[in-house]
Amino acid sequence: MRLRYRLHLICLCAFSILGAQQQVPLGLNLPTTSYIEDSWGVIFTHRFAESTSGNGKNLFGLDGYAYSGFGFWGSVPSIPELNYGIYRTSDQKTMVYSIQGVLYSEKALRSSARIEYFTEGVKDNTSTQTIDEGISGSVYQIPTEFFSGVWTFGIVPTYITKTSTSNSIFNISMSLKYQLSNLHSFIVEYYPISSSVKKYSVPLSSSMSRSLRPGFAFGYRFETFGHRFTLIGTNVQGTTAHQVVPGDYQGVGAKANSDWGLAFNIVRIF
């Protein structure tokens, strides 16, 4: 009986620690309102370029090319709820510098302000399409989350000063999270096409073109002491705001709904 009681007490303590665990403000691709205090973390992202559909011989895209990213996220000393981040992805050799702080917080609602500067290292346009590469710009976001029991609904109003086909865009992306337990959760994100690029057509041939497609991502997250693993399915290629949110990245945007590929995020907090 004593052994059973002690094991039960240990389990309760473990779940309490997990429930209070700090979080880097990253969903699947969108920022969240989470933050870390007096700590820092590392972020590793991986996006497989090939789709899962009809690709069993290549282990559903896992044998193909992938874009990886790596970054740091930390808290500003003596300023609670203010975080900063540095991130690089091999996709266009892009660097992103971020700062984020909480604007408003209560039990059912939390809102943050996030400012980013991004710059692409690839300067030459190797595409056959008329797009801008090697771009730099700023991103202004207001991640906002509404909490109701095991559900979390998020919206991310975003203004970006430069995209692949436009000088500036405004868009609102959305997310929904279902918390199965302290360890497990499901997340979905939706990235509509910005009105600024809706008229853009993706050229397929000299006489054919198609419209841009909205993007989506869905994922399963497992959390343990200091680690967070997320397995993702998505029809968008990128990970940064200017790659995911506008809908016109590289002049192609999101793939067809059936052509989604696999991806994953790993976060470690120290």
Query: Over 80: is that where the pLDDT of 1 sits?
Result: no
Q: Which CATH architecture has domain 24-269?
A: Beta Barrel (2.40)
If DSSP codes are grouped into helix, strand and coil, which group holds residue 91?
helix
Structure tokens at 126: 């190797």
What's the rounded Cα separation, in Å, for the pair 233 and 207? 32
Tell me which range, 42-56, 63-77, 123-137, 143-157, is most confidently predicted by mean pLDDT: 143-157
Whether 265 and 35 have beta carbons less than 8 Å apart is answered as no
Segment among 8-12, 175-179, 228-232 with least mean pLDDT = 8-12
What's the rounded Cα separation, in Å, for the pair 268 and 149? 26
Q: Report pTM.
A: 0.85
Segment among 63-72, 79-88, 185-194, 199-208 with least mean pLDDT = 199-208
Whether 55 and 255 have beta carbons less than 8 Å apart is answered as no
What's the rounded Cα separation, in Å, for the pair 192 and 48? 22
Per-residue pLDDT, averaged over 252-270, amounts to 90
Q: What are the residue boundaries of the structural domains of the chain, listed by start? A: 24-269
Per-residue pLDDT, averaged over 118-144, amounts to 82
Phi-psi sector, 239: left (phi>0), alpha (psi -120 to 50), beta: alpha
Query: Over 50: is that where the pLDDT of 11 sits?
Result: no
What's the rounded Cα separation, in Å, for the pair 223 and 246? 30
Query: Over 80: is that where the pLDDT of 7 sits?
Result: no
Tell me which range, 8-12, 112-116, 122-126, is most confidently predicted by mean pLDDT: 112-116
CA distances from 90 to 61, 67, 121, 129, 249 (A): 18, 6, 9, 21, 15
Among residues 162, 160, 115, the alpha carbon closest in space to that of 136 is found at: 162
Query: Over 70: is that where the pLDDT of 55 sits?
Result: no
For the chain, the 3-state helix, strand and coil shares in percent, each to the nearest 5, are 15, 45, 40
Query: Over 70: is that where the pLDDT of 2 sits?
Result: no
What's the rounded Cα separation, in Å, for the pair 152 and 179? 8
